[in-house]
Amino acid sequence: MKRAGIILIIFTIIFSSCEDKFTHEYMANTPVYMSYDELREGVKQTEAKALESHGKIYFKDQYIFLIKELEGIHVIDNSDPANPVNTTFIEIPGCIDMAIKDHVLYADSYIDMVSLNVSDIENISVIDRITDVMPYTLPPWDENYPIGPIDRDSGVVIGWETKMVKDNFEYYPYPVYAYNDYLEGGLRISADVSNGGGVSGQGIGVGGSMARFGILEETLYAVDTDQLHIFDIGNVEDPVFKNSYYVGWNIETMFIYDEKAFFGTRNGMTIYSLVNPYAPVYISEFWHISSCDPVVVKDDLAYITLRGGNACGSEVNLLEVINLEDIESPELIASYNMTEPYGLGISENTLFLCDGDAGLKIYDVEDPLHIDDNYIAGFEDIHAYDVIPLGSILILVGENGIFQYDYSNIIDIQLLSEIVIGE
């Protein structure tokens, strides 16, 4: 009988000379590998694929990019938001996040960073690959069993088989358990939306609040659970890895604003200065109970959602508003009960909040101390995951689809289109 946290372990003790040796047999998740050669030949463009699951979203010029975690990126032509067209798919093994500057798309591919020319959406090509700069990522596993031995020389882990494994030890082998922190969050960028006619336009795209990638001027940042990886993209087609910095622990999201990086962590929000783009400097942090929490910032206020349950820790579900006037001492000024909050976005004084099964909630936040008294509208028939507000058009990704709304008239928000996920 399988049961979470209870593993059947059989120990056979073999005595040899005067020394104890132990054979440790146990049921475990054993890795399925992709070789490094296969990984580095694995990026290619294919025909459009049906959307099977929700993931992180990104917008540049007239295109929506939807990540299919660990597999690649759907590209959707959104030149007419009322009639978006699923156009093509980019296979990128190990892809979790992305960002775009000018005509170049940057994405992780397990332990590598790849850059793609997307100026011609019909003919996307690989420009460059920087190897061995990202963390060794593991895909989700059966948490009823521990992880068996991993041989990194064999390649990257792309899946698991559950079977009995045997290890020999010179000492008693206490079992070690691992946690899937890296994939629970996601790998934000804050930037102006380009008005170009295609992905060949200048400027930086914009991502959702669940992201771990960000671009500030000529620097690309990618954060994992504790390290910020920094790339010089002054020449967009020739990215250069600069260095990695320890910036905390249990990091889930990143939002870049006003030359600062705001990291959403399991325990709060950590703030770093990016004035020196290659040497981030710690400013301050705000602590709260353990939860899953993306963050967005506007002016002197940060908005953080706290989601409890599962791997997120507590059972608390809140929207918190943090005063940043004294950036070295962030202060909680208000909190509001939510149902199951995920991503969020802000446009002028309008906050769009994805509240899971409770749907999309929209608030006027001009008065941050009374947000709950200034509820504008809600859409309860979707499981909302993340949003990108674009001035008058809202792109929302949910469990069952990508939805677009016209909010140019905030008291009469209109659904423009829906791309179904899972059909």
CA gap 141, 147 in Å, rounded: 8
- 169 confidence band (pLDDT: 50, 70, 90): low
What's the gap between Cα 149 and its chain centre?
27
What's the whole-number mean pLDDT along residues 320-338? Answer: 97
- 150 confidence band (pLDDT: 50, 70, 90): very high
pLDDT at residue 381 in the model: 86
Distances, alpha carbon 282 to alpha carbons 260, 321, 371, in Å: 10, 21, 30
| pLDDT at position 402 over 90 | yes
User: Could you tell me the domains of the chain?
Assistant: 11-36+141-179 (no CATH), 42-135+182-420 (2.130.10.10)
Which range is most confident: 32-36, 173-177, 418-422?
Answer: 32-36
| pLDDT at position 281 over 80 | yes
- Cβ neighbour number for residue 116 with a 10 Å cutoff: 24
Q: Two tokens at 295?
A: 């963050």
Contact present, 268 and 250 (Cβ < 8 Å): no
| Angle (nearest 5°) at CA 48 between 185 and 118 | 75
Q: Two tokens at 367?
A: 């008065």
| pLDDT at position 9 over 70 | no
What's the whole-number mean pLDDT along residues 32-55? Answer: 96
What's the whole-number mean pLDDT along residues 233-240? Answer: 97
pLDDT at residue 288 in the model: 74
Average pLDDT, the chain: 87
For 399-421, b/e burial (b = at least 16 CB within 10 A) is ebbbbbbbbeeeeebeebbebeb
Query: How does pLDDT run across 100-110, given as a tens digit for each residue?
Result: 999 999 999 99
Residue type, position 171, single letter? Y
Residue type, position 221, single letter? Y
pLDDT at residue 165 in the model: 85
- 311 confidence band (pLDDT: 50, 70, 90): low
Of the candidates 399, 374, 321, 384, which has an alpha carbon nearest to the alpha carbon of residue 354? 384
